[in-house]
């Protein structure tokens, strides 16, 4: 059973999806610690409801960003965390945390990377006029949404879509593929080679790509 640590800054809907998957028995993992950088993050209420230890860490209490992430790493290691999950954590992860958990920090982004990294990926997709968008689970490196891709899920972009309507459609898939990526990690089925992530023993139907609605 993989021990998870979660970092969040806001409402934590992906955090809730992970909780639900664990409670449903589809994800064999334990949530050891939630760390937030925002004392008002609703993710804390989710942690309280489910009896998950939580901790607010104020970046201003540390001299540098590197010091802040070193503190996060220490807190996670003290709980025996094996995989760090970013569930709406609104900061670029720094080297001290990445060094402490090499290829063991996982993030979800609401766009089909490498397109539209950074903030407001859904708005970028609508403004650009793409016909397909979606979400990406990836391992985290020192860049902004540049780490190796694990799973992607795609949705059509409708002619009348707004940032809000596209975001809602994408979010439903985020809640599916994030727990799935964590499950693959917990089963030892993710093999990273350079930029490529191989899913070991993947079926022909599921090889890191989900399309909704399915392509005929």
Catalytic machinery residues: 109
| Paired residues of 36 in beta bridges | 8, 56
Beta pairing partners, 137? 108, 151
Element (H, E) at 123: helix 121-128
The H-or-E segment that residue 155 falls in is strand 149-156
Helix (H) or strand (E) holding 207: none
Maximum distance among all Cα pairs of the chain, rounded to whole angstroms: 55
Distance CA 88, CA 9 (A): 6
| Residue in the structure block whose two tokens are 């990926």 | 121
Residues in a beta bridge with 210:
153
């Amino acid at each position: 059973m993989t021990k998870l640590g979660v970092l969040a800054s806001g409402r934590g809907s992906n955090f809730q999806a992970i909780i639900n998957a664990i409670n449903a028995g589809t994800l064999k993992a334990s949530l050891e610690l939630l760390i937030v950088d925002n004392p008002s993050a609703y993710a804390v209420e989710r942690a309280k409801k489910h009896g998950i230890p939580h901790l607010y860490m104020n970046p201003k209490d540390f001299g540098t960003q590197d010091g802040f992430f070193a503190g996060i790493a220490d807190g996670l290691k003290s709980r025996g965390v094996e995989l760090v999950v970013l569930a709406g954590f609104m900061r670029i992860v720094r080297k001290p945390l990445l060094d402490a958990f090499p290829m063991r920090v996982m993030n979800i982004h609401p766009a089909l990377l490498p397109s539209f990294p950074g903030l407001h990926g859904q708005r970028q997709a609508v403004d650009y006029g793409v016909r397909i968008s979606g979400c990406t689970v990836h391992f985290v490196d020192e860049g902004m949404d540049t780490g190796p891709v694990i799973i992607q899920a795609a949705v059509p972009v409708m002619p009348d879509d707004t940032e809000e309507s596209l975001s809602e459609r994408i979010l439903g898939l985020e809640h599916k593929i994030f727990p799935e990526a964590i499950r693959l990690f917990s089963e030892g089925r993710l093999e990273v080679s350079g930029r490529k992530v191989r899913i070991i023993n993947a079926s022909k139907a599921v090889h890191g790509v989900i399309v909704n609605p399915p392509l005929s």
